[in-house]
Amino acid sequence: MSDVPFTKPEDELAAEFFSTTIAQLSGAGMPERLLEEEEKLPPFPDEPWRAAAESGWFRLLLPEELDGLGLGYAELGAIFRAVGHRLMRGPLLDHAVALPLIAAATSEALRGEISAALDGESTIVLAQPLPRPYGAGSDLTLAGAELRGTADLVSFGAAADSFVVVADRDGETVLLLVSASAAEVRERGSHDPTVELATVGFSDVEVAADRVLLEGAAAARTLAMVHGAQRLMAVAELSGAVEEMTAMAVSYAGERVQFERPIAGFQALRHILAEMTGKASTLLSLSDAALWDADADRERVPELGRLAKAFSAEPSRFVAEQALQVYGGVGFTHEVPLHLFMRRALSLQGFLGEDADLFTEIGSAVLEAV
């Protein structure tokens, strides 16, 4: 893999997180390890996941007074950007983003339970409705104490010890902590090399009152923060993956010889690579700016996450598809790792909202504002 071609974040701590994360994941054999394991994945959690827990990634956003690292989005974003460069298996967007934010907002008793997951001792993932129109008709609802409904495309649902269930109770959002033993979990195939998917169903599961993590305004506010932060981190990861794919394509074009010269000598390819560079540069700029702005004003996290996530799809897809074009036939095979990055990038396009839907939301908001 080539060196990172763009300016590093100016935040020194973030820059340090970026380089140590690259080193840590490279040391764990990423991403080549995913190539070898493609056919036969070891059970999750695996070694890189445990190392991430030990490095404190899952406690990074948690305030210091709650035994967290009390750091910001810029630092966590640097980790995610590095993950984009090297890839990593696991429900990272749940453990490093959603759980610390929920832990900080919930009661002390339930925080203890989440705390074990933040140390990597257990796995807790979100079970929530898909954006409309997908998943309609099987909504997760809490009627009295009874939870029913289905969450699809749950990341590492089969490996989870518990779920944070995002349910509807009389039109209000409520977050519940529900043991996996109460759920019907069905594994399903995944085209994302870093994620295993499951469908998680609940048939009239009795949920005790003390399993409610958050309700009322606090639940809605925390969920908006969680989604905003997860989108920001997905974009940070994409910015890294897009840089990596660009660097891979640049490097390959310099090595591959046809017509007795490197294919990078052909202007048609030079222009594609220059365009990819422009896309990668902008995506990283927007990701960094959104992370800094999020740290400067936490209230803006939902808005910044939506904006950055909406923007990220187009450059990510462009770079993935054009990298494949530059590689030609060999890029279409598992002989080179490009497909891993491409599949991860495409997977994130649909995470927490398609770009088209997010754009419509953004446009509606400004046109209707008075």
Partner 1 sequence: MVGTAAADLATFGRDVAEWVADAELPAVPNDVDERFEALRGWQKTLYEAGWLGVDWPEEFGGRGLSILYQAEVMKQLIAAGAPLPVAIVNLIVAGPTLVGFGSDQQRAEHLPKMLAAEEIWCQGFSEPNAGSDLASLRTSARADGDHFVVNGQKVWTSYAHRADFCALLARTDAEAPSHKGISFLIVDMRSPGVTVRPLRQLTGDAEFSEVFFEDVRVPKENLVGELNGGWGVAMHSLGSERSRILIQRHAGADAALRQAIATLRESGAKISPDVKRRIGRALAQVAALEAQVRKTVRRVQSAAPPGALDSVDKLVLTEVEQDVFGLIYDLLGPYRLAGDAAPLGLESERWIHDYLYARSWSISGGTLQVQRNIVAERLLGLPRT
* Residue pair 69/76 in contact by the 8 Å Cβ criterion: no
Residue from 88, 161, 75 nearest 119 by CA? 161
Calculate ∠ Cα 148-58-141, nearest 5°.
10
- For residue 231, the minimal CB distance to partner 1 (Å) is 12
Nearer to partner 1, 29 or 328 (CB): 328
367 is a contact residue toward partner 1 (CB under 8 A) = yes
Nearer to partner 1, 181 or 267 (CB): 267
Give the DSSP letter string of 158-227.
Answer: GG-SEEEEEEEETTEEEEEEEEGGGSEEEEE--S-TT--EEEEEEEEEE--GGGEEE-HHHHHHHHHHHH
Among the listed residues 288, 320, 340, 353, the single contact to partner 1 using CB under 8 A? 288
Nearer to partner 1, 156 or 252 (CB): 252
- For residue 224, the minimal CB distance to partner 1 (Å) is 18
Q: Return the half-sphere exposure (C-beta side, CA atoms, 13 A cut-off) of residue 320.
A: 23
d(CA 193, CA 223): 27
Nearer to partner 1, 37 or 355 (CB): 355
Nearer to partner 1, 173 or 277 (CB): 277
Of the ranges 7-15, 51-59, 150-158, 224-232, which one interacts with partner 1 (CB under 8 A)?
A: 7-15
Nearer to partner 1, 74 or 101 (CB): 74
d(CA 53, CA 341): 23
Beta strand pairing status for 257-258 and 162-169?
unpaired
* Residue pair 166/220 in contact by the 8 Å Cβ criterion: no
Tokens of 198: 């499951």
Among the listed residues 3, 12, 108, 204, the single contact to partner 1 using CB under 8 A? 12
- For residue 240, the minimal CB distance to partner 1 (Å) is 16
| Footprint on this chain of partner 1 (rule: CB under 8 A) | 5, 7, 10-12, 250, 253-254, 261-262, 264-265, 267, 270-271, 273-275, 277-278, 281-283, 285-286, 288-290, 296, 307-308, 310-311, 355-356, 358-364, 366-370
